[in-house]
Amino acid sequence: MKSDPVVAIAGVTGAVGAEFIATLDRRGFRVGKLRALASARSAGKSIDFRGVRIMIEELTEHAFDGVDIALFSAGGAISRRFVPIAVKAGAVVVDNSSAFRMDPEVPLVIPEINAGRIRDHKGIIANPNCAAITALVPLWPIHRVNRVRRVIISTYQAASGAGAAAMEELVESTRASLNGEAYRQKALPHPCAFNLFSHNTAIDPATGYNEEETKVIQETRKIFEDHRIAVGVTCVRVPVLRAHCAAITFECENPISEVEVRDILSGAPGIKIVDDRVKNYFPMPIDASGQDDVLVGRIRRDLSDPTGHSISMFVAADQLLKGAALNAIQIAELLPERAMA
């Protein structure tokens, strides 16, 4: 990997694309040249990167010539079509869609958990589901010390997970509701202002689980490399702009106390403890927004388990950052090191 790679961003005009640009700059990621790729309707417009105006190019089959690293966040259909083309052109792809996550040949990486898998890539590295990242970053340090054999997760997922159009819809529909005006939603299937609803992915009629929930289950097992772990998930869309939250109850193989959990998490990378019982101050999306760390709090013994094997906690993380762009760029930052290892 070059020290000054040519970096392409596919889906640069989307919510995650904008965070790719900002995060590359904020983290001082070395870029020899930036290629900004989007649909034909955005071609010819421009974006700013480190004081330079970059012309947006149409995403085509020839857009990856000379590209070293390609960051994709343009949806599964686009990834399935163009990622193999990018790899064939010589790029290493970090893909934010679900297109390749469960491919056994593709590493599914959260750097705080399994950075070593980056070296196994064959041109593609998958970025996990945002809800999975939010839950797994704090679960992993515990799992390493005392295996988590069962986990129940309830998510509170922001509009940003459905893209920039959904974020705009939340703002506009909230304004309309406050003004007593009618509003017809387009990006989301149900009203999002002053409302919440089951995650807007297709329901499996056999299991009753939606696609988002199935992703979290499957990705947990792949990332932890533990197919015995029992995972139950309920994913809900809430009227929050950009930070996901999750209520997590986990059961370990051996007894575990809340003190042990705090000690483990206080030294773990990518985590910030926010757990003030006196002030009733715990992780909130308003605090997680714009932050790199996953906020963890409400750490307490699960009173429904008299054996002392179970703990409950509440977490929050910026869906556009750790749930998407930041995680992908953390992967890209490790590519030179892994290439030379």
Catalytic residues: 130, 244
- Amino acid identity at 115: A
SS3 236: strand
DSSP string, 40-61: TTTTT-EEEETTEEEEEEE--T
Contact indicator for 272, 248 with CB cutoff of 8 Å? no
Q: How far apart are the first and last CA of the chain?
A: 12
DSSP string, 247-285: EEEEEESS---HHHHHHHHHTSTTEEE--BTTTTB---H
Contact indicator for 80, 98 with CB cutoff of 8 Å? no
User: How far apart are alpha carbons 19 and 22 in whole angstroms?
Assistant: 5
User: Minimal CA–CA distance to 196: which of 244, 135, 250, 129?
Assistant: 244
Contact indicator for 202, 211 with CB cutoff of 8 Å? yes
| Total number of residues shown for the chain | 341
Record the tokens describing residue 197, joined without a space: 């609803």
Write the CA distances from 23 to 51, 52, 64, 233, 321, integer angstroms: 15, 16, 21, 30, 8
- Amino acid identity at 144: R
Distance of CA 77 to the CA centre of its chain: 18
